């Protein structure tokens, strides 16, 4: 049976009926970090709490990756099968900007400020058949 595994531990809740990205929020100054960290980037406070991030935000900036990234990028693609993909920062309510891959790669369909939902989907398949799950931002229909 195919097993689905998250691309990294602690990045999002998985498995979950309603997966969400996980951030750490500083209990001293209120700044949130994604991915979650043990201490605050802003004030180096050690008192941080893990929280689920909202699933909808707005596209802050974006670009299209036109060539296959070098290692540690790991996918099932080859230089021949690689297809350009969108990548961007999405600003989520609560003051966090999250960098992630976009489901849309057509520049005509991407606009700064458009609403984006986070989705969780297979990114690659390992040699043992495990599906590696990653998060993506998808334009709100």
Prior bond to 86 cis, omega within 30?
no
Least separation in angstroms between CB 42 and Zn ion: 5
Residues of this chain that interact with Zn ion (CB under 5 A) are 26, 28-29, 31, 40, 42-43, 45
Q: Which is nearer to Zn ion, 45 or 100 (CB)?
A: 45
3-class SS of residue 109: helix
- Could you give the CA distance from residue 98 to residue 100 in angstroms, rounded to a whole number? 6
- The minimum distance between CB 32 and Zn ion, in angstroms, equals 9
Task: CB nearer to Zn ion: give 43 or 140.
Answer: 43
Pull the structure tokens for residue 124. 């690659």
User: 45 or 139, CB closer to Zn ion?
Assistant: 45
Nearer residue to Zn ion within complex by CB, 47 or 126: 47
- Rounded least distance, CB 24 to Zn ion, Å: 10
Task: Tell which residue, 82, 76, 69, has the closest CA to residue 123.
Answer: 76
**CA distance linking residue 71 with residue 21, whole number of Å:** 24
Q: What token pair was written down for 41?
A: 């980037």
**Which residues are paired to 132 by β-bridges?**
5, 124
């Amino acid at each position: 049976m195919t097993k689905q595994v998250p691309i990294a531990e602690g990045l999002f809740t998985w498995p979950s009926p309603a997966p969400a990205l996980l951030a750490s929020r500083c209990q001293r100054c209120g700044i949130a970090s994604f991915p979650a960290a043990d201490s605050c980037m802003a004030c180096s406070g050690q008192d941080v709490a893990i929280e689920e991030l909202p699933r909808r935000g707005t596209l802050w900036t974006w670009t299209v990756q036109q060539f296959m990234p070098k290692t540690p990028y790991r996918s099932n693609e080859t230089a021949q099968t690689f297809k350009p993909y969108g990548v961007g920062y999405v600003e989520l309510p609560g003051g966090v900007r999250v960098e992630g891959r976009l489901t849309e790669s057509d520049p005509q369909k991407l606009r700064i400020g458009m609403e984006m939902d986070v989705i969780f989907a297979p990114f690659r398949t390992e040699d043992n058949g495990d599906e590696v799950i990653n998060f993506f931002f998808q334009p709100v229909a």
